[in-house]
Structure 1
Amino acid sequence: MPDSTATWRTVEDEVVRGRQRLVFVREADHHILTPLSVYADGVVTWRWESTDVDGLRAAFDDGTLTLAPPEGATITVDGTAAGPARLTSWLTPDLVVADLADELDRLNDRPDSSGRCWNALIAYAAEPSRANLEIVRERYLAVPEHRRRYVLGDMDQDDVPVRILLAEPGETTPARRPEHTLTVTTEMQEWAVDYFRRSERGIAASRERDVLDGPEVATRVPLRIGGHVYPSGWPQPPGSEVLQLDYPAPVVHDGREYPSVMHAYWALSTDDAAWHDRIAGVERGLDARALAEQAPRRDGWPAVRLGVMAALLRDKFARHPAMADRLRETGDARLLYGDWGSRYWSSAGANWVGRLLELVRSEKAAR
């Protein structure tokens, strides 16, 4: 069973981050390999099923989900193959559920089981009491078994320092290599305590360096905007819709006013005056884009289009303070711009509209 990969879904225009891995779901007399996803809001999904972690446990218990179908069962991999196969898995449903619970913690920026174990180890190193050691033992055993050797993030030590602490002097414990064992001594335990003290000092110094320039990742979940068409009119009052390029918000470029950023962008994409005026004069921004598809592009347009778009967005949010407030309210969230008919501008590709919106947001914050 491979480690999980990133995924996401949208809920009321908000992007909810998730992680997914593969699992077999039983349908009639065959088993289908399918993604099993867990999201930051606690939702767990596979195929058309939506539940929570408790529902996931129940699905493993009743055989709806499995890691290894019974011998001779028909296995289907959509679009690839189908037929009988013999599979084994060293993982168990309990370990998978524990893994996904850890994923849920990480998606919500909470310490996972390894993080909670680490915190307990640091607390014990600061105050080596029997009570604190029992907390270490409890939290270490709560880490999924196949993850315990990585709990320290130290490939040179694995989890040996933890196991030394949890053993009694004179007991044996596996060393870094499974074929070796260590007979624990008081000196070894003193070394282990010092190991955690030194590790915490090093991590604290690293954190201090990291925060000198601020956080390296966004503290808010990404926000998906754009890609919405409203045939009967824009929502009232509007929300994040005001960030769309085709939202009716007049902008000015070289002394001329246009009904929206999208009108201006596509009118400026041609150097034919007649086409320019026709594009600028249509009612909706989406109509401007459709009409511009028929117009000739100006020479060198790919080299200047990013600068043109940046200038138009700066003008829009300077000219419309309420819309600038809405942009500022997005905080440091990544802005994913959707479905503008171009991978260059949309989050399906380079996401340049989203990136420029983030730039304008930062510029306004700086001022």
Structure 2
Amino acid sequence: MPDTTPTWRAVEDEVVRGRQRLIFVRDDDRYLLTTLGVFADGVVVWRWQTTDFDGLRAALDDGTLTLAPPAGSPVTVSDTATGSAWLESFRTPEQVLADLADEVDRLNDRPDSAGRCREALDAYAADPAPDGLALVRSRYHAVPEHRRIYMLGDMDHNDVPVRVLLAELGEEIPARRPGSTLTVTAETREWALEYFRRGERAVAESRERDEADGPQTTMPRRVGGHVYPNGWPSPPGPEVLQIDYPAPVVHDGREYPTVMHAYWALSTSDGAWHDRIAAAGRGLDARRLGQEAPRRDDWPAVRLGVMAALLRGKFEQHPELARELIATGDDRLLYVDWSSSFWSSTGTNWLGRLLELVRSELT
């Protein structure tokens, strides 16, 4: 995206990719122009502050960060200039948050909001059912409004084919040319459906040509390490393999919100800490608390067995999630955990290996 640039930070032996943009931070009675970085693991950084998307939203809400300082406010550009400014932002905080959430998707090599909308559009074109159109509508409105005209990557049509499908018959919508309109008819709807069908046919033909060159080899599959600033995808996909995916798991008669909650709660020898960890809002919050809690003396000896039991419980108790694990076939699973080389493929990859073990037991 033109308003962000690449950046990175080191976590243990792993380089975590990121993107950064300019933003103003309030400093007493003045505003400093600084960089705001977002990273593939969901970490957000500005100046000396490290937080996540919830912290970023709070900082934008309370005025700690702003896209444009109040008129006439003292402004400093570090080592460059100082003075007062009258600035007006052409973005809203919500638009910037949505853009940055898309950046996190792309840093994790997964479809962003536009890509998820395109997936829904292709599925609807193949089977124009009402539920499919409802999903298209939901995903289209999840694309940042100022990015929608670019979502198809088609300068000749912009997002007109999408808006045709979402409009009622007889409705007039803005057309490609400024000031012109288009009346939606049965014919224009069929044109829009065919637009997406042609794209799918082109992809299928390209895939067939590639496969004709020789047998395809199975590549190791990376799982884990993904964060979703706007909430977990619905319907879910491979992200259900992550240990922080919100799938309640029952272990020894106690229910925990996620495997990560259960793992860290069971790691402590203190009952009060156990309950506090189990009640944490997210899996990542449970891990932060668990790292502070007093550890069981036998934890190094039992932690692999505990994790294996929790993973078995998760997939036995949630058959729909087990199907996602089985769908990985015989691929080698490389688990990404930005904070632990013990569990991650950057080290011993124990989570990937345990997922493969549970998969073999399910098939």
Short-chain TM bin: 0.5 to 0.7
Show the counterpart of 2:309. Answer: none
In structure 2, the CA distance between the partners of 1:207 and 1:35, relative to structure 1 (3 Å rule), is: farther
Q: Is the Cα–Cα contact under 8 Å of residues 2 and 22 in structure 1 kept in the other structure?
A: no
Show the counterpart of 1:114. Answer: 114
Question: Secondary structure of 2:35's partner?
Answer: strand
Show the counterpart of 1:103. Answer: 103
In structure 2, the CA distance between the partners of 1:52 and 1:40, relative to structure 1 (3 Å rule), is: same
Deviation per residue, 1:140-172 (Å, 9 max, x gap): 000000110011111111000000000011101
Deviates more, 1:56-65 or 1:5-14: 5-14
In structure 2, the CA distance between the partners of 1:206 and 1:89, relative to structure 1 (3 Å rule), is: farther
CA distance in 1, matches of 2:46, 2:210: 38
Matched AA of 1:200 = E
C-alpha deviation, 1:203, in angstroms: 2.8
Consecutive unaligned residues in structure 2, runs of 5 or more? 223-333, 335-363
CA distance in 2, matches of 1:58, 1:44: 12
* 1:44 aligned onto 2:62: no
In structure 2, the CA distance between the partners of 1:159 and 1:43, relative to structure 1 (3 Å rule), is: same
Q: How does 1:1-367 map to 2 (within 5 A)?
A: 3-207=3-207
In structure 2, the CA distance between the partners of 1:59 and 1:207, relative to structure 1 (3 Å rule), is: farther
Matched AA of 2:9 = R
C-alpha deviation, 1:178, in angstroms: 2.7
Deviation per residue, 1:251-307 (Å, 9 max, x gap): xxxxxxxxxxxxxxxxxxxxxxxxxxxxxxxxxxxxxxxxxxxxxxxxxxxxxxxxx
Show the counterpart of 1:365. Answer: none
Matched AA of 1:35 = T
Matched AA of 2:72 = G
C-alpha deviation, 1:198, in angstroms: 0.2
CA distance in 2, matches of 1:145, 1:177: 18
C-alpha deviation, 1:2, in angstroms: 5.1
Q: Is the Cα–Cα contact under 8 Å of residues 26 and 63 in structure 1 kept in the other structure?
A: yes
CA distance in 1, matches of 2:98, 2:44: 13
C-alpha deviation, 1:209, in angstroms: 5.5
CA distance in 2, matches of 1:210, 1:75: 55
Question: Secondary structure of 1:131's partner?
Answer: helix
In structure 2, the CA distance between the partners of 1:54 and 1:210, relative to structure 1 (3 Å rule), is: farther
In structure 2, the CA distance between the partners of 1:72 and 1:210, relative to structure 1 (3 Å rule), is: farther
Q: Is the Cα–Cα contact under 8 Å of residues 152 and 158 in structure 1 kept in the other structure?
A: yes
CA distance in 2, matches of 1:36, 1:208: 43
Show the counterpart of 1:320. Answer: none
CA distance in 2, matches of 1:210, 1:126: 23
In structure 2, the CA distance between the partners of 1:90 and 1:209, relative to structure 1 (3 Å rule), is: farther
In structure 2, the CA distance between the partners of 1:139 and 1:208, relative to structure 1 (3 Å rule), is: same
In structure 2, the CA distance between the partners of 1:207 and 1:32, relative to structure 1 (3 Å rule), is: farther
Consecutive unaligned residues in structure 1, runs of 5 or more? 221-330, 332-367
Matched AA of 1:139 = R
C-alpha deviation, 1:139, in angstroms: 0.3
In structure 2, the CA distance between the partners of 1:103 and 1:195, relative to structure 1 (3 Å rule), is: same
CA distance in 2, matches of 1:21, 1:162: 30
CA distance in 1, matches of 2:27, 2:210: 49
CA distance in 1, matches of 2:21, 2:205: 35
Matched AA of 2:68 = A
Question: Secondary structure of 1:135's partner?
Answer: helix
In structure 2, the CA distance between the partners of 1:208 and 1:154, relative to structure 1 (3 Å rule), is: farther
Q: Is the Cα–Cα contact under 8 Å of residues 24 and 32 in structure 1 kept in the other structure?
A: yes
In structure 2, the CA distance between the partners of 1:201 and 1:74, relative to structure 1 (3 Å rule), is: same
Question: Secondary structure of 1:170's partner?
Answer: coil
CA distance in 1, matches of 2:131, 2:28: 52
Output the TM-score relative to the length of structure 2. 0.57
CA distance in 1, matches of 2:77, 2:203: 44
RMSD: 2.5
C-alpha deviation, 1:207, in angstroms: 5.0
Larger Rg: 1
Task: Tell me the number of residue pairs that the alignment of Structure 1 and Structure 2 aligns.
Answer: 222
What is the aligned-residue identity percentage? Answer: 67
Question: Secondary structure of 1:21's partner?
Answer: strand
In structure 2, the CA distance between the partners of 1:29 and 1:96, relative to structure 1 (3 Å rule), is: same
Show the counterpart of 2:282. Answer: none
CA distance in 2, matches of 1:47, 1:106: 24
In structure 2, the CA distance between the partners of 1:87 and 1:94, relative to structure 1 (3 Å rule), is: same
In structure 2, the CA distance between the partners of 1:148 and 1:72, relative to structure 1 (3 Å rule), is: same
In structure 2, the CA distance between the partners of 1:56 and 1:209, relative to structure 1 (3 Å rule), is: farther
C-alpha deviation, 1:208, in angstroms: 5.4
